[in-house]
Structure formats: structure tokens, C-alpha cells
Amino acid sequence: MPKVDARLPNRPTAWQRVAGFHVSGRAAPHREARLGARDPIPLTGVLAIDREHEELVDRYRLLLRALNNGCDATAFAVDFCALLCHARSHFETEERIMEASGHGEYGLHVNEHKKLMRDGVDFLHSIIVRFSADDCLAVARFFKYWLFNHIETHDKKLGDFVAREGLASLASASSGCDPDLAG
């Protein structure tokens, strides 16, 4: 469980605020957990990537629905593992497109993917070992924050690069992601 920032007594760290932790170190209640119409998925202009972002957000919504229906940490862990598998498949799609296009920020982008997967596996371990349903909500919120921030910060740059370079075949390419195999 993340600890409250010791430099600022009784104030959560930035990660804890994003994830919904209270000063006590416990996750906030389930309120405001919904991903609604006010949270449109940012578009990159690369059809395969945009479709997979929609699928990732759909899986995120399933996680929230399960939490709102009272699932326990074990059930959440299974669904979160499926989300991570789908994210890994999506990252492979993005990485193929970046490699094929000669995108200059390939290394930075791949490192972001690796970091999320490491964090995801760490979260998954914590979910299995010691997290409660409230902690699971914080994990779900963090994933939403990371996904939307990543799309805005990195994926849109890739979409702009593909469009600028006139790589229409990449922009409309099928991802090859088989939802049945991804989780």
C-alpha cells in the first residue's frame, strides 16, 4: 500500500490523489468511479490504435462494473490480468506501427509501455496478496489516468507523425489483435 508523502504531513502524493486515496492511505469510496460520456477517448488518427484504445476502455469499464457489483479482490485480479494481456497486445501493435514508420520516439514510447507493464504486474501481485476491493478501485483509477495521459502524450504524436509522413497504409492497418486470445 502506498504511504502518504512524509514531506507533507497529512497530504497524499500525486499518485495517491490520481488513484483516489484518502490521507489515511485508504482508497476513496466507489463514487466518481464511472467513465462516462464526459471522458471521450482521445483519437490518434491511426484506426488500429484507436480501435484498440476503445477495447481497452471497454475492459476498464468492465473492471469498474465488477467493482460496483461488489466483486472481491480475487475476481478483480482475474479481470485486471485480462486487461494487462490486452494492453500488452495493444502495445505490440503500436510498436509495430512505430517501427514500420520510423517514428523517432520509438525508444521512449516502448519504455513507457514497459513501465506500465511492470507497474501492472506489481499491482496484480499486490491485489492477489493484500489488496481489498477499495484498493482495487485505486488501481483501476490509476490505469485510467495512465491510459488517457499516454494517449495524449505519446499516441497522438505517433498519429500526427503517421499523418504528416503520409503513411495512410499504417493509419488504416488492422491490428491483428484477436480479442479471444487477449483475454
DSSP string of 109-160, one letter each residue: HHHHHHHHHHHHHHHHHHHHHT--HHHHHHHHHHHHHHHHHHIIIIIHHHHH
Looking at the domain that runs over 59-170, which CATH code has it been given? 1.20.120.50
Domain ranges of the chain: 59-170
Question: Is the predicted pLDDT of residue 10 greater than 60, yes or no?
Answer: no
Find the angle CA(76)-CA(69)-CA(18) to the nearest 5 degrees.
Answer: 60
Q: Does 145 or 16 have the greater pLDDT score?
A: 145
pTM: 0.70
- Residue 141 CA to residue 14 CA, distance in Å, equals 13
pLDDT tens, position by position, 122-167: 999 998 888 887 788 888 888 889 999 999 999 999 999 888 887 7
- Residue 33 CA to residue 25 CA, distance in Å, equals 18
Q: Residue for cell digits 512505430? A: 98
Question: Is the predicted pLDDT of residue 58 greater than 70, yes or no?
Answer: yes
pLDDT tens, position by position, 74-110: 888 999 999 999 999 999 999 999 998 888 999 999 9
